[in-house]
A and B are shown apart, each in its own frame.
Chain A
Amino acid sequence: MAMQKPAVAPGFDVAGGYGSCKVEEAVAPDRFPAGLRVLVVDDDVTCLRILEQMLQKCLYRVTICCRAAKALSLLRERKGGFDVVISDVHMPDMDGFKLLEHVGLEMDLPVIMMSADGSTTAVMKGIKHGACDYLIKPVRMEELKNIWQHVLRKKWNENKEMENSSSLEDPEHKRRTTDEAEYASSVNDGTDGTWKPQKKKRDAKEEDDGELDSDDPAASKKPRVVWSVELHQQFVNAVNQLGIDKAVPKRILELMNVPGLTRENVASHLQQFHNNVQKFRLYLKRLSGVTQPSSFCAPLESNAKVGPLGRLDLQALAATGQIPPQTLAALHAELMRRPSDSLVLPAMDHQVLLQASAKGPKCIPFDHDVVAGQSVLKCQSNTSKQFPQSSISFESMSSGLMGWSSSHPGMSGCANNIEGVNNIQNSNILAQMLQQQQQQQPFPLLSEPHHAINVQPSCLVFPSQSVGRTSVCSESTNLNSSNMVVGYNHPSSQSNSISMVGRQVSDEELKADGVLNSYSMPGSIPSVFQNPPVNFGPSTRMPGLAPNMCTPSYGTKTGTLPEHAVGRNLGFVGKGTCIPSRFAVDDIESSTNDVRQRSTCTFDDAEVVKQELNLDFLDDIKTGNPVLPHFPQSGFTGVLSK
């Protein structure tokens, strides 16, 4: 008897992508979660067929597959093409748990296990391996109807994680929660089928973050404080002296003894400081998170507290071996590669880095070490490599920019890879930070508006050298529609500019197993990057990159560097500041001590940079953001492969 391939369930929204959570685009709430894209893997064809039918009745888009290996390759080919995976536990060619692991690592999709074996031990094993749920056969319709909650929950938890690390203010939390609640009823997005929770959240957040003084009308009249390097150093010293736990704004203020500085200034700066630390912690957690998700905080904390110069992190973290050797090696290589007069990197840093590099990796077990390694190599060797044009949209840094190898654009879903990649990126970013800020490479994208740039909400903000620091802000990565990759390009030696490029990667590009997230930081041109902290929704086009810079969530609250690009700069109190172009640099160089100066940071301080480094890129690492949703245009219904 012929197998009938069921047509797409009626009422199914083909045009839209499931996955947009934009409330404003919410279709009738009761449509949700129609269109959820489910991949079912089971060697039992009977069961497969039944599930297929059931899921279609739920108005989901179903793809069935009877071989785990085939399922994996399908998932890899169509990154972002699925929202949830349901897999049987016992399969002849691959253990369901293995598949679960792969999916979790590479695509970070919610996986629901399924088995005829309903024993407690089996279920527990499933949960331990990270399954979102465990269904016992025979599976009933009612159970399938609810699987969408796993998709959303996962997404929200990731958002929460990121948001928590970035801001602890209650009002924002509340707002966020409200936003999240709204997602529950959001539905198909007819336009671009992308999840935009990040964007929404960030928008909300930004409104709040925008003004430091928003809650203090009196303070709004005060001059903005620009946290110069010196000032920040004093701050850090005070914090270290007090001990991070005891570092309250009042005491810090007293220790700093800076006339004109207020407790509020210190308080907000402290908050960002904490945010950064936390972000970095999360980053490291992620790095090692595959096996030991929660092991890092403590050691990090103690290490993080004090370095000889009260430096946070870089050395300390390096010393703990938590920074993967690749990262450190790359960082070191970067440092070595770009000597410049204004690169003032204390010798100590080098040594520490070197030592850390030499340490055996305690780091994360990269499954894709090789890839990462290759990427690093590639990156370093391809100074002017541009991102390969993707079939969709592609931004590339200007030719002057050194590109992260972008031959493997990565889905952020690939956790392992991302970690590897992010290490590299991180190192690059740090390297960038240490570089002299020269370049002013006018950000190429700026002049090429036709490039579609989808900037991920993540952009690393980091201060550029003497003058402005290039900041890269990264917000939670919201890889949008299936293949959004934020590219980081290393600017060429000329430009400190970091281009942030988001690009949509074509499927072909994503084929590679090890996928890198390539990030390019936009070169910053001050005037261009004005603040609106941008939340890049996946579909945000970046007009010349500017708006995509940085997220003000980390942005300092007090000062504004009006002409600087958005971005968080170390030492700048103000809305995200980006280290901008030579143009800006000149301005900045002229005055370093003026509190009102725009950019007064100098790049001599890896640690400073680090502190300010908005570890938003961590979000990428978190990778948790599955690229939910791009509704594949080709209506792919069922694939039954034997």
Chain B
Amino acid sequence: MAAVALKEQLASLMDSMYQEGLLDEQFQQLQSLQDETNPCFVMEVVTLFCDDAERIFGELDKIMNQPVVEFQQVDAYIHQLKGSSSSVGAQNVKLACIQFRHSLEDNDREGCLRALNVVKREYLHLRSKLETMLQLEQRIQAYDKQKN
């Protein structure tokens, strides 16, 4: 059955994400919050997270491109990203943020740029996996609805 296959696919995707450290147990908390009254909760939160993260990256790019980099501001944004990523369980992104903040201490622009790229990379990686996950979920839900 297609639905079963989908579910298996989803399950293994999730496993790999956990193993890679893309997601941590916080994500499980999110999943547990999803229920009949909030069937799209995870999707909602993931979307919020992604929108927010991309907004932050945009801001950071602006700041980093300025002749004089306002490291305080950078720190504030990264702190924010760290908070939201930890709240959704985006572990690797969170860790990259922590790293970034360490490198900020050097006030070294190049170092910051590098660290920022790491964060972006991690984020993009996570995002693509999350997209896959959400798509799978949607399809599964569609199948379940059809069945019922």
**Which residues of A are in contact with B by a Cβ distance under 8 Å?**
1, 3-4, 6-7, 9-10, 43-47, 49-50, 53-54, 57, 88, 90, 92, 115-117, 137-141
Main SS class of interface, A: loop
Interface string of B31-59 (1 = CB under 8 A from A): 01100011011011101110010000000
Stretch of B3-11, B74-82, B112-120 at the chain-chain interface: B74-82
Given contacts A1-B43, A44-B80, A46-B48, contact A6 B37 (CB under 8 A): yes
Q: CB-CB < 8 A to B41: which residues of A?
A: 4, 53
Cβ B38 vs Cβ A46 within 8 A: no
Smallest distance from the beta carbon of B36 to chain A beta carbons, Å? Answer: 10
In the complex, what distance in Å separates the CA atom of A4 from the CA atom of B40? 8
Q: CB-CB < 8 A to A43: which residues of B?
A: 80
Cβ B79 vs Cβ A49 within 8 A: no
Stretch of B14-22, B62-70, B83-91, B123-131 at the chain-chain interface: B83-91
Q: B103 interface residue, CB < 8 Å from A?
A: no
Q: B30 interface residue, CB < 8 Å from A?
A: yes
Given contacts A90-B76, A90-B79, A90-B80, contact A138 B86 (CB under 8 A): yes
Q: CB-CB < 8 A to B99: which residues of A?
A: none
Q: B141 interface residue, CB < 8 Å from A?
A: no
Interface centre among A3, A7, A50, A115 (most CB of B within 10 A): A50
Smallest distance from the beta carbon of A637 to chain B beta carbons, Å? Answer: 12
Cβ A6 vs Cβ B38 within 8 A: yes
In the complex, what distance in Å separates the CA atom of A45 from the CA atom of B44? 11
Smallest distance from the beta carbon of B133 to chain A beta carbons, Å? Answer: 15
In the complex, what distance in Å separates the CA atom of A47 from the CA atom of B38? 16
Given contacts A10-B37, A45-B52, contact A1 B79 (CB under 8 A): no
B87's contact among A57, A117, A137, by CB below 8 Å, is which? Answer: A137
Cβ A53 vs Cβ B83 within 8 A: no
Cβ B87 vs Cβ A139 within 8 A: yes
Cβ B87 vs Cβ A50 within 8 A: yes
Cβ A46 vs Cβ B29 within 8 A: no
Closest 9 CB pairs of A and B: A116-B83, A46-B84, A138-B86, A47-B87, A138-B26, A46-B48, A46-B49, A138-B87, A53-B33
Cβ B29 vs Cβ A47 within 8 A: no
Cβ B38 vs Cβ A140 within 8 A: no
In the complex, what distance in Å separates the CA atom of A115 from the CA atom of B84? 10
**Which residues of B are in contact with A by a Cβ distance under 8 Å?**
26, 29-30, 32-33, 37-38, 40-41, 43-45, 47-49, 52, 76, 79-80, 82-84, 86-89
In the complex, what distance in Å separates the CA atom of A325 from the CA atom of B33? 56
Q: CB-CB < 8 A to A88: which residues of B?
A: 83
Q: CB-CB < 8 A to A10: which residues of B?
A: 37
Interface centre among B26, B52, B86 (most CB of A within 10 A): B86
Q: CB-CB < 8 A to A90: which residues of B?
A: 76, 79-80, 83
In the complex, what distance in Å separates the CA atom of A571 from the CA atom of B108? 76
Smallest distance from the beta carbon of A592 to chain B beta carbons, Å? Answer: 71
A57's contact among B33, B82, B89, by CB below 8 Å, is which? Answer: B33
Smallest distance from the beta carbon of B78 to chain A beta carbons, Å? Answer: 10
In the complex, what distance in Å separates the CA atom of A140 from the CA atom of B86? 11
Cβ A46 vs Cβ B43 within 8 A: no
Cβ B44 vs Cβ A49 within 8 A: yes
In the complex, what distance in Å separates the CA atom of A261 from the CA atom of B17? 84
Given contacts A49-B44, A138-B89, contact A54 B83 (CB under 8 A): no
Cβ A49 vs Cβ B45 within 8 A: yes
Q: CB-CB < 8 A to A49: which residues of B?
A: 44-45, 48
Cβ B47 vs Cβ A1 within 8 A: yes
The chain B residue sitting closest to A10, CB to CB, is: B37
A116's contact among B32, B44, B79, by CB below 8 Å, is which? Answer: B79
Smallest distance from the beta carbon of A565 to chain B beta carbons, Å? Answer: 55
Q: CB-CB < 8 A to B87: which residues of A?
A: 44, 46-47, 50, 137-139
In the complex, what distance in Å separates the CA atom of A58 from the CA atom of B118? 37
What would 11 A/B residue contacts be, using CB atoms closer than 8 Å?
A: A4-B40, A47-B84, A47-B87, A53-B41, A53-B45, A88-B83, A90-B80, A137-B83, A137-B87, A140-B26, A141-B33
Cβ B33 vs Cβ A50 within 8 A: yes
The chain A residue sitting closest to B38, CB to CB, is: A6
In the complex, what distance in Å separates the CA atom of A137 from the CA atom of B83? 6
Cβ B76 vs Cβ A50 within 8 A: no
Q: CB-CB < 8 A to A46: which residues of B?
A: 45, 48-49, 52, 84, 87-88
Smallest distance from the beta carbon of B101 to chain A beta carbons, Å? Answer: 10
Beyond contacts A1-B47, A53-B41, A53-B45: 11 other A-B pairs, Cβ-Cβ < 8 A, are A1-B43, A4-B41, A44-B83, A46-B48, A46-B52, A54-B33, A90-B80, A138-B29, A138-B89, A141-B32, A141-B33
Q: CB-CB < 8 A to B33: which residues of A?
A: 50, 53-54, 57, 141
Cβ A45 vs Cβ B82 within 8 A: no
In the complex, what distance in Å separates the CA atom of A7 from the CA atom of B76? 33
Given contacts A44-B52, A45-B52, contact A117 B89 (CB under 8 A): no
Cβ A141 vs Cβ B29 within 8 A: yes
In the complex, what distance in Å separates the CA atom of A92 from the CA atom of B55? 15
Cβ B29 vs Cβ A140 within 8 A: yes
Q: CB-CB < 8 A to A57: which residues of B?
A: 33
In the complex, what distance in Å separates the CA atom of A46 from the CA atom of B30? 11
Smallest distance from the beta carbon of B16 to chain A beta carbons, Å? Answer: 21
In the complex, what distance in Å separates the CA atom of A634 from the CA atom of B40? 27
In the complex, what distance in Å separates the CA atom of A45 from the CA atom of B43? 14
Q: CB-CB < 8 A to B88: which residues of A?
A: 46, 50, 138
Q: CB-CB < 8 A to B84: which residues of A?
A: 44, 46-47
Cβ B45 vs Cβ A116 within 8 A: no
Cβ A3 vs Cβ B83 within 8 A: no
Q: CB-CB < 8 A to B38: which residues of A?
A: 4, 6, 53
In the complex, what distance in Å separates the CA atom of A92 from the CA atom of B32? 31
In the complex, what distance in Å separates the CA atom of A111 from the CA atom of B94? 26
In the complex, what distance in Å separates the CA atom of A47 from the CA atom of B75? 18
A3's contact among B26, B29, B30, B44, by CB below 8 Å, is which? Answer: B44
A47's contact among B37, B76, B79, B83, by CB below 8 Å, is which? Answer: B83
Smallest distance from the beta carbon of A619 to chain B beta carbons, Å? Answer: 40
In the complex, what distance in Å separates the CA atom of A624 from the CA atom of B117? 50
Q: CB-CB < 8 A to B83: which residues of A?
A: 44, 47, 88, 90, 115-116, 137
